């Protein structure tokens, strides 16, 4: 019986799709979200669209679309983007080891300062939307403008020693080809600490998909943490204030760095752009 159970376990593990990423010299194994596939170059239009996202502070490691849309994407058509995922890492952190103590500092900051951070980023977010729209217009010869009118962060809903997740509603307006539309998007941002690195996991859906973004992101985060042997740095760091900013003796200004993670969420807001692009092709 034990042999049978072992074989079944090995089979289930072998069927999980995963990618190995080299981040700052550290190999990290990140499974694909269940039911989703990494966007690749042979999915031409969708891949080019993903590369139009502007986020100078974070590196996009992977963009995931639902499995049932892969065949369509490989024909050069745009897949459905009703629900999707992104995986990112902050450029300033990817070459450094981060301790669990520092990660705890990050979690504390998110719990206490998230709403204020969102308000302080309004101008940066609008600039990001303009730059992303400009990049897509140039790449695909279309005329699209996108603007975030409001972002509402919600309380932290999932937390462990090595992970934290909170959600938000984002009011997004898009105009293209003389038409315009407003949409409320639900997104969840999850931060995980694996092998001494912090990774950003983002899940997106429509307004009514808030709970889906949360449960799907939690499952993905837990699968990712299980897939990596912990190499955490446990040496404690002293947390103190420097010019009213939360820093540690590691030298990182965590408030500034986590601001960039919020920019990373907005940088993944392509759902309406995909829909408008498909509509323009039909018209």
Q: What is the mean pLDDT, run by run of 10 residues, along the chain of 283 residues? A: 38 57 93 95 88 79 94 90 91 88 84 70 70 73 77 90 93 78 89 93 94 96 87 35 38 63 71 56 55
Which residue's structure tokens are 């990712």?
224
Tell whether the torsion through CA atoms of 198, 31, 67 and 61 is positive or negative: positive
pLDDT (0 to 100) of residue 106: 81
In this structure, how many other beta carbons lie within 10 angstroms of the beta carbon of residue 43? 26
pLDDT (0 to 100) of residue 16: 53
The whole-angstrom separation of Cα 51 and Cα 200 is: 18
Query: Max CA-CA distance within the chain?
Result: 66
Which token pair is 221? 């985060």
Q: What ranges do the domains of the chain cover?
A: 2-282
In this structure, how many other beta carbons lie within 10 angstroms of the beta carbon of residue 4? 8
Ramachandran quadrant class, 25 (left: phi over 0; alpha: psi -120 to 50; beta: rest) = left
pLDDT (0 to 100) of residue 249: 42
């Amino acid at each position: 019986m034990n042999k049978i159970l072992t074989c079944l376990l090995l089979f289930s593990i072998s069927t999980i799709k995963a990618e190995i990423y080299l981040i700052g010299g550290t190999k990290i194994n990140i499974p694909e979200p269940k039911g989703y596939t990494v966007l690749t170059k042979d999915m031409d239009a969708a891949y080019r669209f993903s590369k139009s996202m502007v986020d100078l502070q974070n590196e996009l490691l992977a963009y995931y679309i639902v499995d049932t849309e892969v065949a369509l994407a490989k024909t050069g058509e745009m897949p459905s983007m009703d629900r999707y995922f992104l995986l990112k890492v902050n450029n300033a952190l990817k070459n450094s080891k981060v301790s669990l103590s520092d990660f705890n500092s990050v979690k504390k900051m998110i719990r206490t300062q998230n709403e204020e951070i969102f308000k302080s980023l309004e101008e940066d977010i609008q600039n990001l939307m303009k730059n992303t729209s400009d990049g897509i217009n140039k790449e695909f010869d279309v005329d699209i403008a996108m603007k975030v009118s409001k972002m509402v962060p919600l309380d932290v809903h999932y937390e462990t020693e090595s992970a934290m997740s909170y959600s938000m509603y984002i009011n997004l307006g898009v105009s293209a080809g003389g038409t315009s539309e407003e949409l409320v998007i639900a997104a969840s941002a999850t931060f995980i600490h694996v092998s001494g690195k912090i990774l950003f996991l983002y899940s997106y859906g429509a307004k009514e998909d808030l709970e889906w973004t949360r449960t799907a992101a939690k499952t993905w985060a837990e699968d990712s943490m299980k897939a990596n042997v912990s190499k955490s740095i446990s040496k404690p760091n002293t947390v103190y204030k420097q010019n009213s900013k939360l820093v540690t003796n590691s030298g990182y200004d965590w408030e500034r760095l986590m601001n960039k993670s919020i920019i990373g969420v907005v940088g993944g807001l392509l759902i309406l752009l995909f829909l408008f692009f498909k509509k323009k092709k039909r018209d």
